[in-house]
Amino acid sequence: MSDLDSQVPYWDAAAATKTFTHPLHLPWLDGIGTDAAILDYGCGYGRIMKELEQGGFGNLTGVDASPGMINRARRLHPTLRFAALDAPPASPCPDAGFDVVLLFAVLTCVPDDEAQHRLIGELNRVLKPGGILYVSDLLLQDDERNRNRYNRHAGHYAGYGVFETGDGAVCRHHPREWFSTLLAGFQTIATRTITVPTMNGHESTGIQILARKPTSA
């Protein structure tokens, strides 16, 4: 069972109540044609998909491990295309089928290093050569509340920064340098540091990364 599989019951239960807040920085997509094939992997209830549609993009696909999230997405955005993943991180998407892949607040739901590498490998598979990967996720926080919970769960999970939330999720915050390791097969185009409210209402520091898949091996 993958990390994404194991937390499906939590996300199904949370689907009706959680609000996601990582911002979509549309200027990063200025060079992308509005007919580009875009995949939102871990699309949740379709918030970013709707923003992309409002930004003029029309060839959009959203996938998520949580059927509950997909059901909410379909209710909120009936004209958009969504699918639940049967065996994440694998997707039914074709090889080199997308010009852009978005991965917003998904890595925080994948505690294990190797599972994150498998996920990035799947996204690399579905991206066209020269395609764009847009990642948004959370960094290690330096406040006392977060340091305490990192330390409290350090003996149970491999890697500092993995913790359990009070309502039952297992989440991960990342050292900034981890993203360089994880995305070593991509060319980083741009990075930005952001501040976002978490799904449980706490302010956290995040990172957004725009990277390009090489055009050849």
Residue-wise pLDDT for 99-108, tens only, equals 999 999 999 9
Answer CATH for 3-18+26-139+176-212 from 2.120.10.30, 3.40.50.150, 3.20.20.140, 3.40.1180.10: 3.40.50.150
Quickly state the pLDDT bin for 167 (edges 50, 70, 90): confident
Quickly state the pLDDT bin for 4 (edges 50, 70, 90): low
Average pLDDT of the residues in 111-126: 97
Q: Residue 137: enclosing H or E segment and its boundaries?
A: strand 127-138
- Cα dist from 68 to 17, 54, 63, whole Å: 11, 24, 12
Starting at the edge strand that comes first in sequence, how are the strands of the sheet with 98-104 ordered? Answer: 81-84, 59-64, 37-41, 98-104, 127-138, 203-212, 187-197
> Hey, where are the domains in the chain?
3-18+26-139+176-212
How far apart, in whole angstroms, are the C-alpha atoms of residue 11 and residue 105?
Answer: 13
With tokens 């993009």, the residue in question is: 57
Q: pTM value?
A: 0.95
From 165, 196, 122, 174, select the one nearest 14 (Cα to Cα).
Answer: 165
- Cα dist from 77 to 25, 45, 98, whole Å: 21, 9, 21
Contact 116, 181 (CB under 8 A): no
How far apart, in whole angstroms, are the C-alpha atoms of residue 128 and residue 197?
Answer: 33
Q: Residue 130: enclosing H or E segment and its boundaries?
A: strand 127-138
- Cα dist from 44 to 103, 126, 182, whole Å: 11, 19, 23
Q: Over the range 88-116, which residues count as b (16 or more CB within 10 Å of their CB) and which as e?
A: bbebebeeebbbbbbbbbbbbbbbbeebb
The rounded mean pLDDT for the chain is: 94
